Amino acid sequence: MSDLVEFLRARLGEEEEAARAAIAERVRVSRDGEEPDWRFAYWPDLGAPAVVVGGERVLADVEAKRRIVEREVNSLTPTTWRRELVLRDLASVYAQHPDYEESWRR
């Protein structure tokens, strides 16, 4: 389980870093000289508008997930099977990451 916990902590750290960078370099994009549509931004790698979640929202999500991970890791209850399921569920959103282990898939 320690590999799974380390994996989650690393992914959450990456998300936090990306969110903080996005907040620091926040850029609003106007299309065709109109007022910017705050729900969309231009993503160079996609070449099209994409839905954007604000950096603050990502930071709040990261913090909530970190609390869940730490609560499960430090739980005094002996229900390790439940703990494992919760952590696997959290890790499942990163299933495409090269460090994700298939044994974590439910």
> What's the pTM value of the predicted model, to 2 decimals?
0.71
Give the 3-state secondary structure of residue 48.
Answer: strand
In terms of average pLDDT, the best of 14-23, 34-43, 44-53 is 14-23
Q: Is 8 buried (19+), middle (13-18) or exposed (0-12) by CB count in 10 A?
A: buried
User: What pLDDT is attached to residue 30?
Assistant: 42
The region of weakest confidence among 13-22, 34-43, 50-59, 87-96 is 34-43
| DSSP 8-state class, residue 23 | H
Higher pLDDT, 6 or 79: 6
Give tens-digit pLDDT for 49-96. Answer: 555 677 888 899 999 999 999 999 888 676 788 888 999 999 999 999
Identify the band that residue 29 occupies on the pLDDT scale cut at 50, 70 and 90: very low
Which token pair is 34? 């109109």
